[in-house]
Chain A
């Protein structure tokens, strides 16, 4: 007996492989992608009752191919064909020994979905559908938009890719590495959408974190020597391990220093820790690896007071060299304050006030508020918390900042 959950896992593992075979044979990415989605729907409805076929991938390829040829035929025949006949044809059981892909095209698919002609939101949506095997409805629920809106985004993205003249093949180096970086960024954004989701209300959204981890694991199998892929996976694991402790009973945010560390997922931490340690020893260093190393330092402290802030400061200095940016500088200021005292941190963030990318950013005000509170200036800290609360567009962050301000009055 196969459970619906196992069937879904199986389907979603097969999805990119099946799509790869079809695109390789028929060329049209957009149509093939639709056909695979239809085949997956057909499988989800017919497999649990009929039991899973011996060669699920071949089954899906055959059904998707029929859908595809039906779609093409119906275009040519201007839809003279009877819809019902085609619908039934799709459910017929195909020969078992059909075709097996001789190479895995999942990486090519990932690059296609994260094509530079697309916006990041579209790259994420298309990756979740074409590679992740999620339905449009599931993606729409996760991103809190109507299904029609998401369907439009996905179909527009496919048009854009076609218009950009994308071909279904891996680009040569060094373009390949550069394109893989884009994929990593998209996976990182999908993870963050899920990780930062408030608990309870948006379960589907929280599952994006698991999906991002699954896809990054898959990418690591395809690019095992790329340190940044391993770095990103380690970063996700070490961050995700804290998920149970990051919010309180009411969905309120709990800062790292106040989290119940016994609720951290030790097994996931161990996996992330082992992965980042091994990677740092063999691969050229990169920003995801450094961020994973920082997360590993936090994870290794049983008590916040035991945190090795000197090491974290050193890592942020390195990150600032590898990937300079105002948010990295802001995080370094927190580490500076922990090592050299709040005043040193405040002096550092004073230099960020003139940075246009950050001057009206709530996180600058929030960090200033924390450092002022540590330095004992309650009145200024309260004003900074209130300023940060006004600037944020996140409800849980706003509640957190308002409650910190209220504690100081």
Chain B
């Protein structure tokens, strides 16, 4: 099953960290990725810019509007993701717990919808 692991960020939590602690988080991501690349469980990943860099695009009555800033203003926001393919729910939970941010905020894990289906 493919899963999206969404990493949430809370700037006030992050700001309270020391330089070393921050570096440990970045290094922790490198460490996290390495075995997953080797095992073939890692499908993709990305880190996202600050939400102040977001562009929110809407189309209403065929008219496009693009405004700066996020769609939803929130204290916590999506900072990045990992796309993984895992054998089991237990395995993906085990991996989510290894993401450094799990200690600070939380990782939201959601199964990716499949294009296959069984007639019922």
Contacts and interface: CB of A to CB of B under 8 A. Distances in A.
A255 interface: yes
Contact of B119 (A153, A156, A205, A253): A253
B119 A393 contact: no
Contact of A198 (B1, B116, B120): B116
Interface stretch (B22-30, B34-42, B72-80): B34-42
B38 to A, nearest CB: 6
A393 B110 CA distance: 10
A164 B1 CA distance: 26
Given A121-B87, A156-B38, A370 B114 contact: no
Contacts of A144: 2, 115
Contacts of B115: 144, 197-198, 201-202, 394-396
B17 interface: no
Contacts of A370: 120
A197 B116 contact: yes
Contacts of A255: 119-120
Contact of B120 (A120, A122, A363): A363
A167 interface: no
Q: 5 tightest CB-CB pairs across the interface, nearest first? A: A153-B40, A396-B117, A196-B116, A152-B40, A394-B117
A396 to B, nearest CB: 3
A363 B118 CA distance: 10
A398 interface: yes
Contact of A196 (B2, B38, B113, B117): B117
A396 B117 CA distance: 6
A126 to B, nearest CB: 11
A408 to B, nearest CB: 15
A28 interface: no
Interface in A352-409: 363, 366-367, 370, 392-398, 400
21 contacts: A119-B87, A144-B2, A144-B115, A146-B44, A149-B40, A156-B38, A156-B39, A198-B115, A253-B117, A253-B120, A254-B119, A392-B117, A393-B1, A393-B113, A394-B113, A394-B115, A394-B117, A395-B114, A396-B115, A400-B117, A400-B120
Interface string A251-265: 001111001000000
Interface residues of A, number: 41
B101 interface: no
A349 interface: no
Interface in B40-71: 40-44
B40 A196 contact: no
The size bracket of the interface on B is 20 to 34
Given A152-B37, A393-B111, A196 B118 contact: yes
Contacts of B41: 149
Chain A at the B interface: SS class? helix
Contact of A366 (B2, B44, B114, B120): B120
Interface in A157-209: 193, 196-198, 201-202, 205
Given A152-B37, A153-B40, A246 B113 contact: no
Contacts of A198: 115-117
Given A149-B40, A152-B39, A156-B38, A246 B119 contact: yes
Q: In the complex, which of the residues A149, A151, A198, A205 has the most CB atoms of chain B within 10 Å of its own CB atom?
A: A149
B60 to A, nearest CB: 26
Contact of A152 (B1, B38, B111, B117): B38
Given A146-B43, A152-B39, A393 B120 contact: no
Given A205-B116, A394-B117, A395-B114, 16 more contacts: A119-B87, A145-B43, A146-B43, A148-B37, A151-B40, A156-B39, A193-B116, A196-B116, A253-B119, A255-B119, A255-B120, A259-B119, A394-B113, A394-B118, A396-B115, A397-B120
Nearest to A150: B40
Contacts of B44: 146
